[in-house]
Amino acid sequence: MVTTPTEASHKMSFDSAVIRRDFPLLAKQIDGKPLVYLDSANTSQKPSMVIDAMANFMRESYAPINRSAYTLAANATEQYEGARSAVAKFINANSSLEIVFTKNATEALNLIVHSWGRANLKTGDVVLLTHMEHHANIVPWQMLQQELGIELRWVPLTSDFQLDLTSLTSLLSGVKVFSFTSMSNVLGTINPVEKLCAAAHAAGAIAIVDACQSVPHSPTDVQSWGADFATFSGHKMCGPSGVGVLWGREALLEAMPPFLGGGNMITDVRLDGFTCAELPAKFEAGTPPIAEVVGLGAAVEYLTKIGMANVRQHEIAMSSYVLDLLTNRFGDDITIHGPRNPELRGATFSFAFRGIHPHDISQILDQSNVCVRAGHHCAKPLMKIIGANATTRASFYLYNTTADADTLADALDSASDIF
Amino acid sequence: MPGIDDLYREIILDHYRTPRNRGELPPPAVYSEGNNPLCGDDIRIYLDVADGIVRDVKFSGQGCSISQSSTSMMTVAVKGKTVEQVQAFVRRFKHMMTLTSESETVDESINLGDIEALQGVVKFPVRIKCATLGWNTLLEALTESTK
């Protein structure tokens, strides 16, 4: 007998229907139907708390930071630095000096590659990546490969969409850097970050974690990870676009040359050279995204209030519900590219459905206000490995309910009516 | 929101389900590849031009219903036309897709026939790229054939 999953049987850790009310955009109706936003792996919606924090800051407190003596500027600096401390605490960094604000996670990864990479790697050095990386953790390394002649190696996948770690020791042999995602933005696979960092260190390599997909969805402790660097975006974790985070161990950041040059990152500039500022200003050249950083601070406060362990619990329950729902309802008509065990994955589902092209699926789902991503998800090498030109991806977050999953399933059925 | 029926007209679905001129052409026919970096779709247009006339055209690759059907309809329309006629035809199509600039001369008397069914794509701007992928690739193949 096919059982219909119910919310109760999937142990929701909080009422996402209540959480949803914190997000004004999700109250929007189009053609009298509610919005079903299933594209949070791409970018998340924003709670009132973040929107208000940014609007209030710009109405009441906006001023330059770090460079003016007047009270308004001092208060703005305090709010900006307050957000840095909040982010440091959120990921359990050793110190807020280890938090560098960037434009996004992509810039944070580029910063590591161009600053640490150029200073520490030479021709023939090996960087280990995995087959499930986002372009942001591939292309900067390939740029360095073209420039320095480094070698790139890849950890392959198992048939159940995990990293295949059977040959990890030999893959890590002679490697200087192991850079990997904590969670695949296509497969939803959650990687064993602590284990991978330990293996990297045992081989004498540094460990870089692209934590873009996991920081918004589960508790993060960079110290217990044992990582050397971690990067993530504000906009995927209820914060605004335009701000990302680089976390690095203080000693590493301290030893690195600056990335972008300009104002704020210096203590002295003379005609014959310059002296770098201390951390973290060294890596924050120019006027930063001030209001956005304040917004990210509010996002961190919002998520902390809800509790990241609760968010993770909710997403395990959602994963379990969505996997049951889609496989019970569609059987062999749907192929989900990702792990079946909800404990091993985030609530991000890439799938193929009845031979209908993902672009057409997303267009038809849009008729039911269901927002999903169609395409290669900025992971073309991975797409090639799983044998798909494009997939449809539905990704769930703390504000998604089982009703959203039900609407997705109904809308998928309507796609079959057309094709 | 514009209706989905404006997009998925019957003639479009017909060309999607039963594409015409799918396949490859051996040399001396030339080919060009086009892809849509947003969605990873790719298309290859094979073109056999002799004495300034498109003798044969075929296409291969993967794509959504709009890119596949638009390309299929295009191959039917351009076969047998002169290179100049094909170029004018492509301009007429791109004009319908709102992609021509004011400085370009478009012969609005050219009848697009079944291809008029793709007019509805204009109401879904993100899909215009899908509809024009094969056409832009055809233009590249034409250039290739005159080398």
* C-alpha angle A123-A383-B121 in degrees, rounded to nearest 5: 125
Same domain membership, residue A378 and residue A405? yes
CA distance B8 to A87: 47
Whether the Cβ atoms of residue A105 and residue A233 lie closer than 8 Å to each other: yes
Decide if A383 is inside a domain.
yes
b vs e for A335-346, b when ≥16 Cβ sit within 10 Å of the residue's Cβ? ebbbbeebebbb
CA distance A248 to A223: 10
Q: Could you give phi then psi for residue A233, rounded to 5 degrees?
A: -105, 150
- Supply the pLDDT for residue A7: 44
Collapsing DSSP to helix, strand or coil, B118 comes out as helix
Same domain membership, residue A395 and residue A315? yes
pTM of the model: 0.93
Percent of chain A with pLDDT over 90: 94
Q: What is the mean pLDDT of residues A195-216?
A: 98
- Supply the pLDDT for residue B105: 87
Decide if A40 is inside a domain.
no
Q: How many CA atoms lie within 13 A of A190 on its CB side?
A: 20
Decide if A332 is inside a domain.
yes
Chain A positions in Cβ-Cβ contact with residue B1 (cut-off 8 Å): 30-31, 366-367
Same domain membership, residue A331 and residue A246? no
Pick from A278, A305, A332: which residue ends a domain?
Answer: A305
Q: Using pLDDT thresholds of 50, 70 and 90, give the confidence band for residue B101.
A: confident
Q: How many CA atoms lie within 13 A of A29 on its CB side?
A: 4
Residues in chain B: 147
Decide if A385 is inside a domain.
yes
Same domain membership, residue A327 and residue A194? no
Q: What is the mean pLDDT of residues A99-110?
A: 98
- Supply the pLDDT for residue A12: 67
Q: What is the mean pLDDT of residues A376-397?
A: 95
- Supply the pLDDT for residue A2: 39
Question: Is B38–A375 a contact, with Cβ atoms under 8 angstroms apart?
Answer: yes
Across all residues in chain A, what is the average pLDDT? 95
Question: Is B8–A418 a contact, with Cβ atoms under 8 angstroms apart?
Answer: yes
- Cα separation of the two ends of chain B: 46
Collapsing DSSP to helix, strand or coil, B34 comes out as strand
Q: Three-state SS across chain A?
A: CCCCCCCHHHCCCCCHHHHHCCCHHHHCEECCEECEECECCCCCCCCHHHHHHHHHHHHHHCCCCCCCCCHHHHHHHHHHHHHHHHHHHHCCCCCHHHEEEECCHHHHHHHHHHHHHHHHCCCCCEEEEECCCCHHHCHHHHHHHHHHCCEEEEECECCCCCECCCCHHHHCCCEEEEEEECECCCCCEECCHHHHHHHHHHCCCEEEEECCCCCCCCCCCHHHHCCCEEEEECCCCCCCCCCEEEEECHHHHHHCCCCCCCCCCEEEEECCEEEECCCCHHHCCCCCCHHHHHHHHHHHHHHHHHCHHHHHHHHHHHHHHHHHHHHHHHHHHEEECCCCCHHHECCEEEEEECCECHHHHHHHHHCCCEECEEECCCCHHHHHHHCCCCEEEEECCCCCCHHHHHHHHHHHHHHHHHC
Q: Which of A363, A364, A390 sits opposite B41 (nearest CB)?
A: A390
CA distance B131 to B119: 10
Q: Could you give phi then psi for residue A311, rounded to 5 degrees?
A: -60, -45
Is the pLDDT confidence value at A9 over 50?
no
The predicted-structure confidence for B29-50, as pLDDT tens digits, reads as follows 999 999 987 777 889 999 999 9
DSSP assignment, residue B40?
Answer: T
Domains of chain B with CATH codes = 4-145 (3.90.1010.10)
Same domain membership, residue A87 and residue A22? no
- Supply the pLDDT for residue A170: 98
Same domain membership, residue A257 and residue A194? yes
Is the pLDDT confidence value at B1 over 70?
no
Q: Using pLDDT thresholds of 50, 70 and 90, give the confidence band for residue A11.
A: low
The predicted-structure confidence for A282-338, as pLDDT tens digits, reads as follows 999 999 999 999 999 999 999 999 999 999 999 999 999 999 999 999 999 999 999
CA distance A206 to A273: 31
Question: Is A418–B4 a contact, with Cβ atoms under 8 angstroms apart?
Answer: yes
Catalytic site residue from A212, A238, A276, A378: A378
Q: Which of A360, A366, A376 sits opposite B64 (nearest CB)?
A: A360
Number of independent structural domains in chain A: 2
Is the pLDDT confidence value at A169 over 60?
yes
- Supply the pLDDT for residue B36: 86
Decide if A181 is inside a domain.
yes
CA distance A154 to A203: 16
Whether the Cβ atoms of residue A374 and residue A390 lie closer than 8 Å to each other: yes
Residue A302 CA, distance from chain mean position? 17
Same domain membership, residue A98 and residue A204? yes
Pick from A282, A305, A328: which residue ends a domain?
Answer: A305
Same domain membership, residue A118 and residue A164? yes
Same domain membership, residue A154 and residue A15? no
Contacting A with CB below 8 Å, chain B residues are 1, 4, 7-8, 13, 16, 38-42, 62-66, 124, 127, 130
Whether the Cβ atoms of residue A121 and residue A127 lie closer than 8 Å to each other: yes
Nearest to A305 by CA among A98, A30, A18: A18
Report the run of H or E that residue B47 belongs to, with start and end. strand B41-50
Is the pLDDT confidence value at B131 over 70?
yes
The predicted-structure confidence for A286-301, as pLDDT tens digits, reads as follows 999 999 999 999 999 9
Is the pLDDT confidence value at A62 over 50?
yes
Reply yes or no on whether A378 is catalytic.
yes
Q: Which of B13, B39, B66 sits opposite A375 (nearest CB)?
A: B39
Q: What is the mean pLDDT of residues A167-175?
A: 98
Decide if A27 is inside a domain.
yes
Pick from A305, A331, A364: which residue ends a domain?
Answer: A305
Structural domain of residue A362, as residue ranges?
A: 8-34+307-418
Is the pLDDT confidence value at B76 over 90?
yes
- Supply the pLDDT for residue A10: 55
CA distance A190 to A319: 13
Is the pLDDT confidence value at A211 over 90?
yes
Same domain membership, residue A236 and residue A89? yes
Interface test with A, best of B17, B44, B65, B66 (most A CBs within 10 A): B65
CA distance A223 to A209: 12
Residue A214 CA, distance from chain mean position? 6
Same domain membership, residue A317 and residue A276? no
Calculate the CA dihedral of residues A130, A133, A139, A144 and round it to 10 degrees.
-30
ipTM greater than cut 0.85 = yes
CATH number at residue A328: 3.90.1150.10
Residue A307, class by beta-carbon neighbours within 10 Å (0-12 exposed, 13-18 middle, 19+ buried)? middle
Same domain membership, residue A300 and residue A391? no
Collapsing DSSP to helix, strand or coil, B90 comes out as helix
- Supply the pLDDT for residue A8: 45
CATH number at residue A97: 3.40.640.10
CA distance A402 to A9: 12
Decide if A39 is inside a domain.
no
Chain A positions in Cβ-Cβ contact with residue B63 (cut-off 8 Å): 357
Decide if A1 is inside a domain.
no
Q: Which of B16, B42, B124 sits opposite A363 (nearest CB)?
A: B124
